[in-house]
Amino acid sequence: MVIEQHVEAFLEMLAAERGASRNTILAYLGDLDDFAEFCKARGAVVHRADRFAVGEYLSSLAANGLTARSQARKLSALRQFHLFLIRDGLREDDPTDQVSAPRLARSLPKFLTEAEVDRLLAKAAEMQGRAGLIARAGLEILYATGLRVSELLGLAASALSGDAAVLLVKGKGGRERIVPLSDAARNAAAALRAEHRKGEKFLFPGRTTGHAMTRQGFALVLKRLATRAAIDPARLSPHVLRHSFASHLLAHGADLRSLQMLLGHADIATTQIYTHVLTERLQALVEANHPLAREITRD
C-alpha cells in the first residue's frame, strides 16, 4: 500500500500530537485509503475532493451495504482529515461540512446483571492454573475500574502493587485519570504477579516473556469463563464489563459527571448512553413513593 502523502502527514499528527493508539491510526488509515482509492478512480486526489465527491462516496458505501454506523465512522475520519488540511493551510474549505451523517439507530449498551457478575467471579475463583489467575484478575480489575481492554493489558507488572487506593491510568489521547481500586482487585493482581516468569513487564503477560497478552488471548479466557458460569459467551467481553461497571454504578446512585471521569470520556455526551439506567431507577422511585402509584397498587 502506498500511502498518500497528506494522509501520511495526518496520521503522523495523530500519533505525535494526540497520542493515538496503533489501532486508531490503522482505522483512520483504512478509511482514508478507501476514500483515496475512490477519488483516484474518478481522476481526483484525496486532498482536493469536493463535497460532491464526499457525497458520492457515502452513497456508494450505502449502495454496497455498509451499515450506517460504519458510514458515520468513515465520514468522521474524513472530517478530521479535512480539519487537519485546513489547519495546515493546505485548503480553505471543508467539503464534509454540508454532508449529513447517516441516521444511527439508538443502541443501548449491553451489560450483565449484578448476579451474573457475581457468578463469573465465583467461577473464576474455581479455575485452576494461569488461566484462572488471569480470569480472576481481569474480572476484578475491569469490574472495579471500568478500564478499556487496551488500558488493562497495558498495565505494568508493578501496577496495583502495594496498598495504593487509586490507580493512575493513561487513556485515549494520552489523557490521564485516576480510578479507585478495590482490595479484591489488588489481591487478584498480586496472585497473578506471584506466578510471573522472570523479566515480565506487564501485569497480564503474553506467551513471550516481556510482551503483553493479546486481546484475542484475553477474550478467549473470558469466553471459557462465561461457559463455566452458564452465560452465553457472546454476551461477555471486556467492553461489556466496562458497560456493566458504569450501569451498576449509576443504578446505585452515581452521577454522570463522576462516571465521565471514571470512564475517561472526553465528552459527557458519550457517558449519557447510560441514562437508560437512570430512567429505570427514577421510574422505580416514582412507583415506590408517589401517592398515586401507591393508590394504584392498593386497588
Active site amino acids? 148, 172, 239, 242, 265, 274
Strand partners, 169: 177
- Taken as a whole, the chain contains a residue count of 299
Nearest-Å Rg of the Cα atoms of the chain is: 23
Grid cell, residue 84, equals 487537519
Q: Which long-range contacts (CB under 8 A, 24 or more apart) does 258-267 make?
A: 261/177, 262/145, 262/146, 262/177, 262/179, 263/146, 264/148, 264/169, 264/171, 264/172, 264/175, 264/177, 266/172, 266/173, 266/175
Burial of 152 (0-12, 13-18, 19+ CB in 10 A): buried
Q: What is the DSSP letter of 204?
A: S
